[in-house]
Amino acid sequence: MKIGLQALGAAAAFAFVAMNHADAQQYPRRPVNLVVPFPPGAATDAFARVIAKRMSELLGQQMIVINRDGAAGVIGTDSVARAAADGYTLVWGTSSGLAIMPALKKKLPYDPQRDFAPISLGAKLAYVLVVHPSIPATSVQQLIGIAKARPGQLNFASAGTGGAPHLAGELFKTMAGIDIVHVPYRGTALFATDLVAGQVDLGFASPVTTLPFTANGRLRALAVTTATRVDAYPNLPTMAEAGLPGYELTQWYAMLTPAKTPPEIVAILNTAIHKSLEDPTVRTRITREGGMPSPTTPEGLSQFIRAETAKFEKIIKAAGVRIE
């Protein structure tokens, strides 16, 4: 009797694997949901939508973008961690939800390494170091010199404590050995308004935010935070080129699906996102807004998230950053 039950169990397991394999071969047979854990309108959402549109064409099924924001990306990201592992619910994960929040908070409802099957990195987004024209610096080194001559007197704005622009400023402080004061705002629009008005001295923001103001001289751009120059500011040096070797900090976006999703499905999605990022229309939209298409293998994404989490942990610890 025991042998019969064991055989029956083995047969059931084999049937389950065979069924999953057949499902994977026919994937996708219905629309795929892509959860964006932030509200519509920003680069996070814009990049997701342009990539999803091209992937829909490649997959032969619509990819539906669903915005589920809250808690710096945690709510939407967690919703996908709990979804069925069938390839029909994906997350457009961000550096905030996958690396910064895990580095900031001891307890999250999900583990980026355990609860997701990585598909591919999608894009990296540069930040731009900008100063108000009242600050007499036309280079990063001049700004560092002014800050060292006036310790604790300059301030830098960000869209909120613990966000990537805040940590870009903290990394700048540490690597340059300067004392500048962080002024957190509740959102990009608020801090951009005060920066342009001269209420704060400098800040790190995306090219979409800075371009209108650097074009008309209301802000001065000094450098970008990526490892290489970006199309949105082709003549602007990187922070490394401007005198801080090794400086790199970006916002980034990646596609993941719940853990235990069949590897055949992950492979199909990886191929689709790679092909979408090769599309000229997709690439133009991303690069125009300061982004860089950055596809990877699934394992490459897993390694990247681990490295980014370790980097953010180091920045957070050095700066003593805490959030409620």
pLDDT, one tens digit per residue, over 47-102 is 999 999 999 999 999 999 999 988 888 999 999 999 999 999 999 999 999 999 99
> What CATH class does 128-224 carry?
alpha beta
Q: What letter does residue 112 receive in the DSSP assignment?
A: T
Q: How many residues does the chain have?
A: 324
Q: What is the Cα–Cα distance from 70 to 64, expressed in whole angstroms? A: 19
**pLDDT recorded at residue 206:** 92
Q: What letter does residue 237 receive in the DSSP assignment?
A: P
pLDDT in tens, 107-148: 899 999 999 999 999 999 999 999 999 999 999 999 999 999
With a CB cutoff of 8 Å and minimum separation 6, the contacts of 242 are 139, 140, 141, 222, 223
pLDDT, greater one: 43 or 136: 136
> What CATH class does 2-125+251-319 carry?
alpha beta
**Rg for the chain, CA atoms, rounded:** 22
Q: What is the mean pLDDT of residues 12-27?
A: 58
**pLDDT recorded at residue 21:** 55
Domain pair 2-125+251-319 / 128-224, same fold: yes
Indicate the pairing of strand 202-205 with strand 155-158. parallel
The pTM score is 0.88
pLDDT, greater one: 181 or 20: 181
Q: 122 with 285: CB under 8 angstroms? A: no
> Does 16 have pLDDT greater than 50?
no
pLDDT, greater one: 260 or 69: 260
Cα 303 to Cα 58, 208, 309, 310: the distances in Å are 27, 29, 10, 11
Q: What is the Cα–Cα distance from 267 to 274, expressed in whole angstroms? A: 11
Q: What is the Cα–Cα distance from 183 to 220, expressed in whole angstroms? A: 19
pLDDT in tens, 179-192: 999 999 988 888 88
Q: What is the Cα–Cα distance from 13 to 19, expressed in whole angstroms? A: 10
- Percent helix, percent strand, percent coil in the chain, to nearest 5: 45, 20, 35
> Does 220 have pLDDT greater than 90?
yes
Q: Distance between alpha carbon 248 and the CA centroid of its chain, in Å? A: 13
Cα 298 to Cα 70, 122, 209, 262, 273: the distances in Å are 26, 11, 31, 13, 11
Average of per-residue pLDDT values in the chain = 91
Q: What is the Cα–Cα distance from 68 to 38, expressed in whole angstroms? A: 6
Name the residue ranges covered by the structural domains of the chain.
2-125+251-319, 128-224
Q: Which helix (H) or strand (E) holds 76?
A: helix 74-81
Q: What is the mean pLDDT of residues 234-260?
A: 97
